[in-house]
Structure 1
């Protein structure tokens, strides 16, 4: 059995969806059981991902146009602020925006990688 290896945008989308799922499950546990341990783990995982993205944006070889980099850095700033706010004052409803950001960015990454993959495999 061959193991599928994800690269590039598909890998980024996959880790964002994993983070969204962790946040979603943590939201449920916080709302139903008042358990913050899952939220703490999910927030730290999500923060690590976005810190890596931030680091990649700062690389001189990053091919993204400057306006996109600036928009992503502003988004990362918002994610950081929301993460720290949730760490100090956990609230299920305030988690939703992080889940939606991750899902939306992942969706965009998947949409952009789809045609490229189709071209590579059809040739």
Structure 2
């Protein structure tokens, strides 16, 4: 019975969730994953790679969306998001090439959190 209620709630949540809410939730999820990586710096490189790959895929989708002609955001906002995306992709590559310091994740975590807060209107 409890499982059925959870499934029903999830189905309803998906129908009332706006795209902005979904984007914010994904950014928060990725920030939380990277914060956990930072707090518990992994000895296993694969764990780090998996967490950073999720964030990279998320930002690749954002960048693809903002560069489309039919995107309703203003040109300056689209350019700012694209610039952030390029920064994130470059930083991710650098961290994966030389994973020496957990604090290198801080900018990625902060950008995701700040953008999520903006999407949620905070």
Q: Which residue of 2 aligns with 1:9?
A: 20
1:29-79 CA-partner distances (Å, limit 9, x unpaired): 21xx53332211110000000000011012111001111111111111110
Could you tell me which of 65, 74, 86 is aligned with 1:65?
A: 74
**Residue 23 (1) aligns with residue 34 (2):** yes
Structure 2 length-normalised TM:
0.84
Q: How many Å separate the matches in 2 of 1:24 and 1:39? A: 11
Structure 1 length-normalised TM:
0.83
**Residue 103 (1) aligns with residue 113 (2):** yes
Q: How many Å separate the matches in 1 of 2:34 and 2:50? A: 9
Change (3 A) 1:28 1:38: farther
Unaligned residue ranges in structure 2 (runs of 5+): none
Q: Which residue of 2 aligns with 1:121?
A: none
The answer (yes or no) to whether the contact 2:67–2:82 under 8 Å persists in 1 is no
The answer (yes or no) to whether the contact 2:27–2:112 under 8 Å persists in 1 is yes
Q: How many residues align?
A: 110
TM-align CA RMSD = 1.4
Q: How many Å separate the matches in 1 of 2:87 and 2:67? A: 17
Unaligned residue ranges in structure 1 (runs of 5+): 113-123
